[in-house]
Structure formats: structure tokens, C-alpha cells
A and B are shown apart, each in its own frame.
Chain A
């Protein structure tokens, strides 16, 4: 064995190392990809990045459904007689080599006219000639070079999705108008009675008026809509004073220039809208390559193979599978509906559903549930339910998936805004009343001036810039939030609920404990060599964990699938497997996965598999318990309870045997008692709980691959930093409060000018950008400081 890593994919080569052209490869797949590339002068692929590739997976027959015209139609973006355009999602896109090879596909196959990668979204858009080429050929080509596209039920209606580019248009218009209006209003700032200025004043003013029209009626539309919706729901949200400010600015300015009372506030107006839109744009940081809205559709295939009455295999759309249909499930394919196994041996991997990676064996006649992945050979099953009614998919009919979390939560800004708006209105009316007595001619001027200067631009910008910044800092350390609002909710939680399997435990490793009479040296050798012959996941795990000395070839070896192994060497025989298989009757109720061993028909003992918990979990719980209620909510049995009690603080609650709906209900109940719940889970079985909780965080070993609908996706290695993330979110709330204070200060200065009736356009034009920019600078520096102080940045 050597320690070299594969030239193509970077995995350790191990014992099956292949050396080709002085380069090491871990398998034939990788070598083949290298051959394809070197034959086509594409080895530049390996110059850009080291070992950028992926092992090509076995896809035999997997994409047969792409021959079906109706299914194909759903995927294609464009189609005419000899050209088709398709966009495919390819999860493996991860580096510049990927972009390079995928954009040079035409060198591999001349039928491909054009291909373009969108790195952020991990999609590849391909134009190809259909004369000698088909979508299926294309997908097979991509798979053969390690870029297997992800085609699932979600693509089903993906066509004609419009990209929302409104924010760009609005920003463009506001910025354009802001700049031009600034130029036009500049001469009047100095207010010298100069002859030419007086002559052209009306022209300049009316030009400003026309520039401001699209700003008010197009760019600022969202603020009016939001304010209107807020008022309709009897809420004084932050957009109410903003919309009021914009409206008053526009009306007052128009009246001013109409009756030649002044030059108007068009500069402030367009600047205000521009800055607010910049804030919106900044906060709307999204992670294109992640999806926070996923449901089962992202994991389910578009089509499965159906067996007709005449034993013909035809691809059929998953939605069209009816009760009683016979389906063929190949290796690595997902079972889309609940059914009964008819033929073949099913080794089902339910890790999509539960996060548990050990496979489950089923024999014909057993009921199998949707969501499992077949991991060996071909099986035949009969559907007993349709997709929507299957056990797993039913969860999504729960109402919690229809309602948006935003509705349950009033943001800090909006809470402040309520008091702020009322205060401003009171000041405005008091000041107006005063001036009505003293000098009625100034009253209207003062009233509008108060509303203009109090327009809470700086307040409205505090939260977007603080949260937007923190969102980026989080993102850099592999904690991806759906939107900025999540930070605010995160700061107010008081209960943290953890899933166990896959969240606290790591999927990749386990420990094994042996109980029973001690095995002698010969028995050990026999055991090792028997295990070596088996491909069962438990055998593999066990084999990896024990000493591998004295490798011999056995006289006899037999594997009874679903039961166990038998191995003989000279006069000794060993049986490894289930309690029944080895002839052990007194087995206690099974809580943990265990493998029993007997030699020469004499029972020896059992190996019990324990989950290993992620490093630092114990430490994390100890830190968190001071401020939060901690709960473990697991779908598993109690087998690990003792183990867990040892490493977690005694205050922690343990609840086992929870079905997906139970988890959801548990959280709902606690919320009704007033708890603010954070749920941390990983599998689809947590999907309901994640949606119901105030903050649902999905833990993922590989953020590109899998996560159910949630508010945030966290790289598994970052779980131990959870306390720091929460602390940072709390600090950000403090930052926002300080910047509110800062903007109140500006408001007081502005109000002094307004109330005393001396608000000149130039004062507004200075004060408004000054307050906005200083808030942006303050929040940016402060959040950077928070990020650094908590060591959230990767080293």
C-alpha cells in the first residue's frame, strides 16, 4: 500500500492503486477520465488546480428516462429542429478547473456548441446540436468525466423561472437620478443672487423634478407598498415614516418650485431613496449555491423504471406512479414511493431521511418506505401509495411549510419604528401648533420640514448593514444563513434542541466494544480474515477497526445475506452475524447495533457499535447550559442514553423514539409555552422541526450536497462554535441599538433646524448623507470587530 493520493480526485490511492503515465490513480474510473482528457488535449485541467476531479460514478441505466420526450421537454430550456439548450445542476463544480473543463466540452464532443458555467449557482448551460446527439448522451458524457448532473423532481417545473433583477434597475435609476440632481442643485446651494443663476433657475428646478419622478414612482415603490401593508395590518413598520418622508419631500419640493418658494429637496429625496436601496441590496446577500427551501423534491428522481404487464421496462414520471405499479430500482437509486419488495435483496440506506448511514436489509415481502436509497443490485417493488401520500412526503402537507416565519416575528427596527413614528408625529403637530400662533405663514413649512428631516434613513440602514455584514462574516466561517432576519431571531432564543444521529454524532466513524469471552490468537486471525471477505457495511466497519495481521486465505467462506458470515480454516470455523445466526438465544432487547461471534458452534461474545460524538460537543453543552435549556430530540432508541448522560451536563433533557411529526409537535408545544426555540438537525426527518422552530439550523458534512428546508446551513465542523455564533448575533443587536442612538442624535440636530423654521435644502442635503454614511461606517467597523473578537474568521 502507498500513501500517494489520486492524481485525478485526490483521494488516497489505497491498495488498488493504478499507475498510468507515471501518475497515481485510485481507481479505473479516475484513470479513464484522465485518459479522456489527455487524448483530447485537455490536461490543462490538472494544471489549474491540484486533483480537481471526482470519481465517475456508475450510472448504467440511471438516465434512461431522458429518452422519454415528455420528461425531456420538462428539462429543456429551448428546443428547435437541430438545437437544444439545457441548464444542468452539477454539484461537483467547485474550482477553476471545473469551469475550464466544462466550458471546453466542445473539444470533447463536436456536437456541443457552447457551454457556460455559473459558478455561484453550480449550473452548466449547454447548447448542442441534436442531429447526432441527445440529452441522454450529454448527461452520460458529463457523468463519465465525473460531473454527474443532479436531475430531480425539483427540476420538474423549473422551466421559465424568471430571475428577479428589479433591485438592479431600481438602484440604477435612483443612482442615476441622484447624481444628476446633485449637479443641477449644486449652483443654488450657495444662494448668491447672480444674474444668470436667476435666469435659469426654473429650468434647473423643473429638470430636477422630472429626474425625481422615476425615483418616487418606481425606485421607491417597495417602501410605499410595505408601508401600506403595514398600516393595513395596523403596524407602524419602519417603512411608514420612510414612505411619509418621501411623500412629503416630493410634495413640498413640487409646491416649492411651482410657486418659486425655494429650490426644493429633490437632491435629498433621490439620495435618501438611493441609500435605502443600497442598504436593501447589501442585506440581500444570498448564497446561490445553497437552497434553503428544499423539500423532498430535491432528492427524489424525476422518473423511475416501471415494469409493464408484458415485462417491458419503461421510464415513468414519479408523479405518475400509481398504486399497484411494479417498479425497478437499480443500485444507487432512490425509492420514490412506499411499497412492498417483490424481488431481489434490498440494502436500504435511509441516510437522506434519518441521517443514519448504516444500511437496512429487507427481503421480499417486506414493506419499504420512500426516501431510501438502494445500495446493492436491482430490486423490484410494488407501489402501494403514490408519491404525495407516502410516509416521508406526507410530512410536507403540514401547515408549517406553508406559513412564513417572518409573520411571527417583529424586528427590532419595526419595534423602534412604532415609538419613533408616534414621537415624530407629536413633535410635528406641536411645532405646527406653536407656529400657527406665532407666525402662521411658517406653520406648513415647519410641519413638512419636521417630517422630512425625521425620515429615519439612518435607522433603516442600521440593521441591513449590521446584519448584512455579519451574514458575510458567518458565511466565511461556513455558517450560511438564509437571510439577515435569522440573526435577530437567533439572538432571542432560549431553548436549543439537538437531533442526535448525524448532528451530535459524526456519520463517518464509530467505535466498537467487545463483550464476551476473550478470543485467542487463532480465532482472531480467523475472524479478521472472514470479515475481510464480506462487503456488508458492518463487516467493513468492524474490519477497519481491528488489527489486520496475518492475512490468510480461508478454506471455506460463505455469506448469508441478511444473516451473517461463516469462515473455516483448518479445523476451526467461525460464525459472525445476528444472534440467531450464531446460535445465541438469550440476547437482550436490541438497542444498539451489534454483531455476534461464535467459533466451532460455541458462543463467544458480541461486538457492539457505538456512535462517536463530534469532538467538543461536551464542551459546547457545558458552555450553552448556562444560558439555554438544552434538549436532545432523537428518532433513535434509547441505546445511547447512558453514553450521552456521561458526556452531557445533567440538566440536558433526553427524548427518544420521536417520529418526524412528534418532533414538530414537541417544538410547537414549547413555543406555545413561550419558548424561543432553536432546532439543530440534519435529516429530512427533522424537516418539520426545522420549519416549526424559530431558528432551524441544518448540519451538513458537505454543504453542497444535502440539507432540508431551514433557516441556516452549518458545516458540521462548525457546530462546536455554536455558542460563539449566538454571542455574535447578540452583539450585533447591541451594535444596532448604538447606531439607533447615533441616528437619534442626528435627528435632534435636524429637528432643531426644522422646528425653528430654518431648514434649508442645503442643510438637509448635508445632514441626510452624513448620517447615513456615518451609520454605515460605524456598523461595518463594529461588526468586523465582533467577528474578529469571536475568532469567527477562519485562520
Chain B
């Protein structure tokens, strides 16, 4: 019957792990700027798109 103890322990440990992750995220400053990352995320594509274009234009010349 003591399986409930195991279950409780596991569920609380999982919860605590997530809580610690949250605290670390705050400590690292992830919540300080909630706007810039949303834009930065979109840049990755732009750069990839741009590079092959550049090569083509130089070839034409």
C-alpha cells in the first residue's frame, strides 16, 4: 500500500524540479526583457535567406 508514498514523493520531486527550473530562468534574466527575443527569433530565417541570394548576384556580375 505504501505505493502512495512513492507516488507522492515522485510527484512532488517533479514539481520541485520545474520550480527550480523557473527560479533559475528568472535568475538568468530571462524575464527581464520579454519583448526583444520575440523579434530576434524571426531573424534566423532572414539571414539564411539572404546568403544564397548574395552569392547568386555576385555570380551574375
CB-based contact A169/B23 at 8 Å: yes
CB-based contact A100/B43 at 8 Å: yes
CB-based contact A180/B12 at 8 Å: yes
Query: Within the assembled complex, what's the spacing in Å between the Cα atoms of A120 and B22?
Result: 22
CB-based contact B50/A44 at 8 Å: yes
Which of A99, A118, A121, A207 is the one whose CB lies under 8 Å from B8? A207
CB-based contact A100/B29 at 8 Å: no
Q: How many residues of B contact A (CB 8 A)?
A: 24
Contacts of B12 in A (CB 8 A): 180, 207
Known A-B contacts A172-B23, A176-B19, A207-B8; A100 and B32 likewise in contact (beta carbons under 8 Å): no
Q: Which chain A residues numbered 157 to 186 have a C-beta less than 8 Å away from chain B?
A: 163, 165, 168-169, 172-173, 176, 179-180
CB-based contact A168/B46 at 8 Å: no
Which B residues are closer than 8 A to A by beta carbons? 4, 8, 12, 15, 19, 22-23, 26-27, 29, 31-36, 39-40, 42-43, 46-47, 50, 54
Contacts of A207 in B (CB 8 A): 8, 12
Output the least CB separation between A44 and chain B (Å).
5
Query: Within the assembled complex, what's the spacing in Å between the Cα atoms of A172 and B30?
Result: 14
Q: Which chain A residues numbered 65 to 103 have a C-beta less than 8 Å away from chain B?
A: 96, 99-100, 103
CB-based contact B33/A48 at 8 Å: no
Besides A118-B33, A163-B32, 4 new A-B residue pairs in contact (Cβ under 8 A), listed by A number? A99-B43, A165-B32, A176-B15, A180-B15
CB-based contact B26/A119 at 8 Å: no
Q: Is A47 an interface residue (CB 8 A)?
A: yes
Query: Within the assembled complex, what's the spacing in Å between the Cα atoms of A44 and B46?
Result: 8
Known A-B contacts A121-B33, A165-B26, A169-B23; A103 and B40 likewise in contact (beta carbons under 8 Å): yes
Q: Is A222 an interface residue (CB 8 A)?
A: no
Query: Within the assembled complex, what's the spacing in Å between the Cα atoms of A44 and B52?
Result: 13
Interface string of A116-129 (1 = CB under 8 A from B): 11111100000000
CB-based contact A119/B15 at 8 Å: no
20 contacts between A and B (CB under 8 A): A44-B47, A47-B50, A48-B46, A96-B39, A96-B43, A116-B36, A118-B32, A118-B33, A120-B34, A120-B35, A121-B33, A163-B32, A165-B27, A165-B32, A168-B31, A172-B22, A172-B26, A179-B15, A200-B4, A207-B12
Query: Within the assembled complex, what's the spacing in Å between the Cα atoms of A168 and B25?
Result: 10
Query: Within the assembled complex, what's the spacing in Å between the Cα atoms of A207 and B4?
Result: 13
Output the least CB separation between A107 and chain B (Å).
10
Q: Is A494 an interface residue (CB 8 A)?
A: no
Query: Within the assembled complex, what's the spacing in Å between the Cα atoms of A118 and B42?
Result: 16
Output the least CB separation between A515 and chain B (Å).
54
Query: Within the assembled complex, what's the spacing in Å between the Cα atoms of A163 and B33?
Result: 11
CB-based contact A118/B23 at 8 Å: no
Known A-B contacts A103-B40, A200-B4; A119 and B35 likewise in contact (beta carbons under 8 Å): yes
CB-based contact A119/B36 at 8 Å: yes
Q: Which chain A residues numbered 224 to 268 have a C-beta less than 8 Å away from chain B?
A: none
Contacts of B23 in A (CB 8 A): 169, 172
CB-based contact B39/A119 at 8 Å: yes
Interface string of A129-171 (1 = CB under 8 A from B): 0000000000000000000000000000000000101001100
CB-based contact B32/A172 at 8 Å: no
CB-based contact B46/A118 at 8 Å: no
Query: Within the assembled complex, what's the spacing in Å between the Cα atoms of A99 and B35?
Result: 11
Q: Is A41 an interface residue (CB 8 A)?
A: yes
Query: Within the assembled complex, what's the spacing in Å between the Cα atoms of A163 and B28?
Result: 11
Which of B22, B26, B31, B39 is the one whose CB lies under 8 Å from A99? B39
Query: Within the assembled complex, what's the spacing in Å between the Cα atoms of A117 and B15?
Result: 33
Query: Within the assembled complex, what's the spacing in Å between the Cα atoms of A482 and B35?
Result: 20
Query: Within the assembled complex, what's the spacing in Å between the Cα atoms of A176 and B21?
Result: 12
Output the least CB separation between B23 and chain A (Å).
7
Residue on A nearest B50 in the bound complex, by CB: A44
Output the least CB separation between A282 and chain B (Å).
14
Q: 8 tightest CB-CB pairs across the interface, nearest first?
A: A119-B36, A118-B33, A168-B26, A96-B39, A176-B19, A44-B50, A119-B35, A172-B22
CB-based contact A172/B19 at 8 Å: yes
Interface string of A201-238 (1 = CB under 8 A from B): 00100010000000000000000000000000000000
CB-based contact B26/A163 at 8 Å: no
Output the least CB separation between A98 and chain B (Å).
10
Residue on A nearest B16 in the bound complex, by CB: A176
Contacts of B33 in A (CB 8 A): 118-121
Contacts of A120 in B (CB 8 A): 33-36
Contacts of A169 in B (CB 8 A): 23, 26
